[in-house]
Structure formats: C-alpha cells, structure tokens
Amino acid sequence: MDKAARRLKLRNLPQFSKMCGGQALEKAAELGDPLSHEFTTPLTKYRDCNFSYAGIKNQINRLIIHEEEKYNVQGGKILPNVYNICASFQLCVTKHICHRVQRAIEFVKLKQLIPKTNQIMVMSGGVACNSFISRAVGIVCRETKFQLRVPPPHLCTDNGIMIAWNGAEKWSMQKDVYSSDNLDDIDIESRCPMGEDMRKKVTDANIKCEWVSLNELFKAKDSLNSKNSTNG
C-alpha cells in the first residue's frame, strides 16, 4: 500500500503530504468508490492460506499507466480519479486478507486447534492500523464465531514494541527462555520463524470456503457519504 501511494503521488496532495503512504491511501480511499475499478483477487484457486501481493501490485501499476495516458497526466500531477483507484485497490487487498484469514479460521476449527472457549484472533502490525481492513476482518471473525483483538495503533507501528511483546509472551510461557549461563547457545537468525509451519497441512485439508460477505462495509460507507452530503 505504501508503494501504491508513492506511485499515485498522494504526497503531492496537501492533505496527505505529512502522512505515510498506507495512511494516505486509506484516507484517499474513504473518498472514492471501491467498485469503480475491478481488481482480480489473487490466489483464489489455491486452497491454502498463503499471501501474494505481486499480482495486485502489477494490476495497479498497469491501471495507473493506462489512466495517466488516458488523462494525459505527467510529472507531479495527480490522476482525477485517484480516490476511486485507492478505494478499489484497498478493497482488493482487503478481500485477499479476508479470504486467507477465513480459511485459516476454518482450518483451526476443523482440526480443533483452539478451544471453543478461547477462539480469539489478534491482528497487529501495520495492517492493523487500517480501519477498513480491521472492520472487514472483524466481520469475518464475527461470522465464524471468533473474537478479534486489535491493539491500538501506537502499538502496531513500532517494530521494537512488537518484538518486545513477542518476548513478553514467551517469557510468560517460559518458552525459548535462556539463562545468563547459556547465552552462547542462542542462534542468530536473520528471519526467525514464529510457531509451527502448517502450510502443507492446510493445503492437504483442501478446504472449500463460502466467503463471508463484506457488503455491510459499503452500506456503512454509503450512509456516511449521504450524511456528509446532507451536512454540506
């Protein structure tokens, strides 16, 4: 989303000049029609939980090139339909996330990996700062009888805090805890895996999902736009 915001030159608009790319794109999307441009949701034929954004990135790059040629937009100028592009792009990203999350939840339920009394999903990191995405994932969790927990944004933007949280959770479980006497036993890893890799198990389960509808997101948006028009 940061890359898309840079390619769309959102920073050249005064209201977005001091925002990071992802935040600017979310705010711009609030002013657009998410159904104005059709993006193909990636990996829909694969019954797994893997994410891939390369296809979405290619789609928006092609769309921007097409629209810039159509409207003869050059240099630092902004596309006249930039808000619609942002809204449609954000919807595609959101649907991709929701599809993978829903299949993960259904796999967890199928394999009874989490007790019914404690079916909670935590969404954190930069994606949790996007209110549109968090509302969509909240709908998926509600319809699948899971509870969604989203930390406040100030805990989702600092990698140090997120790493510390992971460390605090491990300490409380006394998992992967080393004493000062055996620090030499700690391996340094550039990419540290978290938990058990169940990707193959998910694929082998071959779970077919009936996707949770996100239509209520658009109803809320239409209601807000109608209210703003009335107030205006």
How high is the pLDDT of residue 228? 44
**How many percent of the chain have pLDDT more than 90?**
70
Say yes or no to pLDDT of 223 above 60. no
pLDDT at 107 over 50: yes
What's this model's pTM, rounded to 2 decimal places?
Answer: 0.84
Q: In the chain, at which residue ranges do the beta strands (DSSP E only) sit?
A: 120-122, 147-149
pLDDT digits (tens, 9 = 90+) for 14-70: 999 999 999 999 999 999 999 999 999 999 999 999 999 999 999 999 999 999 999
- At residue 83 the predicted structure's pLDDT band, cuts being 50, 70 and 90, is very high
Q: Where are the domains of the chain?
A: 2-231
Kindly report the CATH number that applies to the domain delimited by 2-231. 3.30.420.40
pLDDT tens across 149-158, in order?
Answer: 998 888 777 6
Nearest-angstrom CA–CA distance, 49 and 51 = 7
Q: Which of 48-62, 65-79, 211-225 is least confident?
A: 211-225
What contacts 24+ positions apart, CB below 8 Å, involve 35-38?
35/88, 35/91, 35/218, 36/81, 36/84, 36/85, 36/87, 36/88, 37/63, 37/84, 37/85, 37/88, 37/89, 38/88
